[in-house]
Amino acid sequence: MTALSDLPRPAILEDLDFEALLAAIVADVQARLAAHGIAWDVGALETDPVMILCQAFAYREMVLRARVNDAARANLLAFAAGSDLDHLAAFYGVNRLSGEADERLRERTRLMILGRSAGGPLERYKAIALGAAIEVRDVAIWREGRDPTLHVAVLSTADTGIASPELLELVRAALEAPAVRVVSDRFHVVSAVRRVVDVTLRVRLAPDAPQDMLDRLPALLAADWQAEELLGLDATTSWLVARAMRPGVSRVEVVMPAGDEVAAPTEALALGTVTILDGGRGR
């Protein structure tokens, strides 16, 4: 399935070029004056009144064409934002949640559209789950064999990513609403985070690095982990080393975990306690 961001630029959106517009207007004015026997030297100073008028017309046409581009974007899901996106989403029965960003609303709308196909409704169920609460960061939904049970793994916006029982109940209730659930479907709703990975690193600092870098690293690693797309993300030693190599850090050794922690595509790993051991200083 092609992502909206991977689509080519829509042909309806025009590339705007002020100089090209100005040249076209100047040529038009020159031809009109020539028809009346008036020769106008287009190489005259820019203070020429006719040239000033041409520049003004070119600017106003740029503004008008830019407005046409904006109107076209407002009707395309990949570009619509703010209240324009609200109206576009509402057409498909999707309403913005309190505090919901455009990107999340755009994705829910896309899923709702996909879920209307006869081959669904996994995408529709995902859209419904995301719409249950703004605290739902991501959802994985899958079936196992011919069993009608749908397994739903919920990733929370909480720091740990662990979905609370209250949040899981909100998602379950949204999926089991009479207007949503297909009669034969059953839902098994769990937190996507089923493993917590504790991390211990031995860090050597450069001679001129501040000592408090060791104290700041746990929070920095936690923030980097939260910024990732966590469903299916492995906690690899290479990731830990790369993120811990901040300015002032000369060497990082992963003490724990002993190897890569591999996540299933429907599972999220939570970064637990991050312990930083002082590895001394050196280059």
- Same domain for 130 and 54, yes or no, is no
Residues 154, 216: Cα–Cα separation, whole Å: 30
Average pLDDT on 155-172 reads: 94
Q: Are residues 183 and 202 in the same domain?
A: no
Q: Say yes or no to pLDDT of 43 above 80.
A: no
* Whether residue 152 is found in the same domain as residue 204: no
- Domain membership of residue 135 (yes or no) is yes
Helices 49-73 and 18-35, axial angle in degrees (round to 10): 130
Residue ending a domain, choose from 144, 167, 191? 191
pLDDT for the residue 231: 94
Q: How confident is the model at residue 146 (pLDDT cuts 50, 70, 90)?
A: confident
Domain boundary (191, 216, 235) is at: 191
Lowest model confidence (mean pLDDT) among 21-30, 40-49, 270-279: 40-49
Which strands make up the sheet holding 136-143, listed edge to edge? Answer: 136-143, 149-156, 186-191
Q: How many domains does the chain have?
A: 3
pLDDT surpasses 70 at 44:
no
How large is the average pLDDT for residues 66-92? 94
CATH code of 147's domain = 3.30.300
Is residue 184 very low, low, confident or very high in pLDDT (cuts 50, 70, 90)?
confident
- Residue 61 domain flag: yes
Indicate whether 110 belongs to any domain.
no
Chain mean position to CA 191: 22
Q: Is the pLDDT of residue 68 over 90?
A: yes
Range of the domain at 185: 115-191
Residues 219, 269: one domain? yes
- Answer yes or no: do 235 and 173 share one domain: no
**d(C-alpha 44, C-alpha 51), whole Å:** 8
3-state SS of the chain is CCCHHHCCCCCCCCCCCHHHHHHHHHHHHHHHHHHCCCCCCCCCCCCCHHHHHHHHHHHHHHHHHHHHHHHHHCCCCCCCCHHHHHHHHHHCCCCCCCCCCHHHHHHHHHHHHHCCCCCCCHHHHHHHHHCCCCCEEEEEEEECCCCCEEEEEEEECCCCCCCCHHHHHHHHHHHCCCCCCCCCCEEEEEECEEEEEEEEEEEEECCCCCCCHHHHHHHHHHHHHHCCCCECCCECHHHHHHHHCCCCEEEEEEEECCCCECCCCCCEEEEEEEEEEEEEECC
* 4 pLDDT more than 90: no
- Decide if 34 is inside a domain: yes
The fraction of the chain above a pLDDT of 90, given in percent, is 75
Q: What is the pLDDT of residue 159?
A: 86
- 123 closest CA partner among 113, 138, 135, 136: 113
With a cut of 80, say whether residue 127 has pLDDT above it: yes
Do 214 and 185 fall into the same domain?
Answer: no
Residue for token pair 């005259």: 44
Mean pLDDT of the chain: 91
Task: Establish if 19 belongs to a structural domain.
Answer: yes
Q: 46 burial class (0-12, 13-18, 19+ CB within 10 angstroms)?
A: exposed
**Residue 106 placed within a domain:** no
Q: How many CB atoms lie within 10 A of CB 204?
A: 17
Largest CA distance in the chain: 88
pLDDT of 185 reads: 85
Last residue of some domain: 161, 191, 221? 191
What is residue 1's predicted lDDT score, i.e. its pLDDT? 53
Indicate whether 201 and 148 sit together in one domain.
Answer: no
| Domain membership flag for residue 93 | no
Q: Tokens 């004056």 appear where? A: 33
Among 7-16, 137-146, 238-247, name the most confident range.
Answer: 238-247
Q: What is the mean pLDDT of residues 168-185?
A: 88
Q: Pick 159 or 136 by higher pLDDT.
A: 136
Nearest to 230 by CA among 253, 276, 197, 188: 197
pLDDT value of position 24? 95
Across the range 5-24, mean pLDDT stands at 91
β-sheet bridge partners, residue 43: none
pTM for the predicted model, two decimal places: 0.74
199 and 271 part of one domain: yes
Confidence of residue 47 (pLDDT cuts 50, 70, 90): confident
Q: In this structure, are 144 and 199 located in the same domain?
A: no
163: left (phi over 0), alpha (psi -120 to 50) or beta: beta
Confirm whether 237 is domain-assigned: yes
Least confident among 179-183, 211-215, 232-236 = 179-183
Same domain, 172 and 212: no
Verify that 178 and 218 share a domain, yes or no.
Answer: no
| pLDDT higher than threshold 70 for residue 199 | yes
Same domain membership, residue 126 and residue 69: no
